[in-house]
Amino acid sequence: MLKHARIACLLVVTLAVNACGFHLQGRVPLPAALATTRVIAEDDQTDFVQGLRRALLTSGSKLTDFSERATGVVRIHKDEVTQKIISVSATNIPREYEVTYTVEFSVEGTGGELLPSQKVSITRDYSFNETKLLAKENEEAILREGMANELVAIVMRRLAAI
């Protein structure tokens, strides 16, 4: 009897999750206009562009380097990381930084513009200690990579909504 109740409960939860449009993280269903996609960026080696390419592939899109073969083109107009000091010690040594990762993109299809130019940015701050320089540089690199992944997720949700 308890076994049947567990199975029934599991079935109800499964149906509820499917009914609300839940998808596993990283797998965003894309519209047909992005079945074969070209990503155009000034720098193809940034964390964001590499993450976007992986996310497009994971979502079933085929990537191409030729605009004439593409059903959709994602243009990265801006892919920029800025850093500024937000606090210093009494001896004028930086103690805390603010990192902002900004991406501006647009999407074109075979019939014209699908998504006008949009700007998305994320800001994080981290503490700095000059006695732990290598560890803090590694922390900043991990922070930037995480921010790029968050931006990829935001952009993928917008692409899925086309």
pLDDT of res. 92: 86
The residues near 139 (Cβ < 8 Å, ≥ 6 apart) are 126
| pLDDT confidence tier of residue 138, bands split at 50, 70 and 90 | confident
Task: Write down the pTM of the prediction.
Answer: 0.78
Find the mean pLDDT for residues 111-125: 95
Closest CA to 101 of 29, 51, 158: 51
The residues near 1 (Cβ < 8 Å, ≥ 6 apart) are none
For residues 63, 23, 51, 113, the Cα torsion angle rounded to the nearest 10 degrees is 50
3-class DSSP state for residue 64?
Answer: coil
Q: Distance of alpha carbon 104 from its chain centroid, rounded?
A: 12
Average predicted confidence (pLDDT) for the chain: 87
pLDDT of res. 91: 87
Joined together, the tokens standing for residue 126 give 């981290």
* pLDDT score of 30 more than 70: yes
Summary count for the chain: helices (H), strands (E) = 3, 5
* pLDDT score of 6 more than 80: no
pLDDT tens digits along 44-99? 999 999 999 999 999 999 999 998 999 999 999 999 999 999 999 888 888 899 99
Record: fold of 2-160? Double Stranded RNA Binding Domain (3.30.160)
Contact in structure between 144 and 121 (CB atoms under 8 Å): no
Q: What does residue 140 show for φ and ψ, rounded to 5 degrees?
A: -65, -40
- Where along the chain do its domains lie? 2-160
Find the mean pLDDT for residues 108-113: 92
* pLDDT score of 20 more than 80: no
| pLDDT confidence tier of residue 23, bands split at 50, 70 and 90 | very low
| pLDDT confidence tier of residue 137, bands split at 50, 70 and 90 | confident
| pLDDT confidence tier of residue 128, bands split at 50, 70 and 90 | confident
Measure Cα distances from 41 to 64, 94, 138 in Å.
Answer: 13, 33, 26
Contact in structure between 42 and 80 (CB atoms under 8 Å): no
